[in-house]
Amino acid sequence: MIARALLVASLVTVAAGLTAAPELVDNPGFELPPAGDEGAAVAPGWQVDIRSRDAAEVADASACSARRDDRAPHSGGWCLRLEAGGGLLTQLWAEPEIEGERGRLIPVEGGRRYDFSYWARVPDPGTILVGHVIFYDADRRALQGRHARLKTSADQTGDRWLRFERSVPIEEEATFAVVHFACGWGSGGRQTAWLDDVQFSLHE
């Protein structure tokens, strides 16, 4: 009986393992702290980039930041607080470690369905947090069209955490993906949004 119970338990474990597609974003809940020598890195697996709305570099980005925050995270002990102001965008890029190298391109399987989701808290009207996944072909050209992007916009969640999610079959020629967030598209002056539990994985 014990052997049978163990067999059933192991089969359940195997089944659970088969249904859970690997998470493709490193440090998706911002729980890992930056190492001492990582300088301005927001958290392992992520990079921050401040730009104007027309993507130009800016001289004074003091109104913008993306920092780990331990006040009221959605899960664990930490989330990420994004601040934007002065008409600038605070952009956050997933920088996955693939074969020992850090880069923004995540390998994907063309023609398959992918899931993208995240939790956001956007208390102030006028603030918008946009999260999206952009797919690229083997020559690293961004793909266009209905199945080329996974995009959601979080705005005015109040003080609650809300989950935003998209799932689409991607183009056959899709080879890479980039996971990206931007705060600052809203109409308000100073804009603040909190982000936690990003998920990007093959749909199974």
With respect to Ca ion, which residue has the nearer C-beta, 77 or 111? 77
Q: Tell me the site size for Ca ion, rule CB under 5 A.
A: 6
With respect to Ca ion, which residue has the nearer C-beta, 65 or 175? 65
Query: What is the pairing mode between strands 191-202 and 79-84?
Result: antiparallel
What does the DSSP 8-state code read for residue 15? Answer: H
Minimum distance from CB of 51 to Ca ion (Å)?
A: 26
With respect to Ca ion, which residue has the nearer C-beta, 78 or 114? 78
Distance CA(91)–CA(80), nearest Å, equals 12
Q: Using CB under 5 A, which of the segments 12-20, 38-46, 162-170, 189-197 binds Ca ion?
A: 189-197
Identified binder of Ca ion from the candidate list 196, 198, 199, 200, rule CB under 5 A: 196
Residue 85, CA distances (Å) to 1, 22, 47, 180 in order = 65, 36, 19, 19
Contact residues for 7 (Cβ-Cβ < 8 A; gap 6+): none
Q: Are 32 and 41 in contact (CB under 8 A)?
A: no
Contact residues for 51 (Cβ-Cβ < 8 A; gap 6+): 57, 58, 88, 89, 91
Q: What is the DSSP string of 76-127?
A: TT-EEEEEE-TTEEEEEEE--EETTEE-SPEE--TTSEEEEEEEEE--STT-
Cβ-proximal residue to Ca ion, closest one: 29
Work out whether 29 is an interface residue with Ca ion (CB under 5 A): yes
Q: Using CB under 5 A, which of the segments 28-36, 103-111, 132-140, 151-159 binds Ca ion?
A: 28-36
With respect to Ca ion, which residue has the nearer C-beta, 121 or 149? 121
Q: Binding to Ca ion (CB under 5 A): which residues in 121-140?
A: none
Encoded one letter per residue, x for contact with Ca ion by CB under 5 A and - for no contact, window 66-105 reads: -------x-xx-x---------------------------
Contact residues for Ca ion, defined by CB under 5 A: 29, 73, 75-76, 78, 196
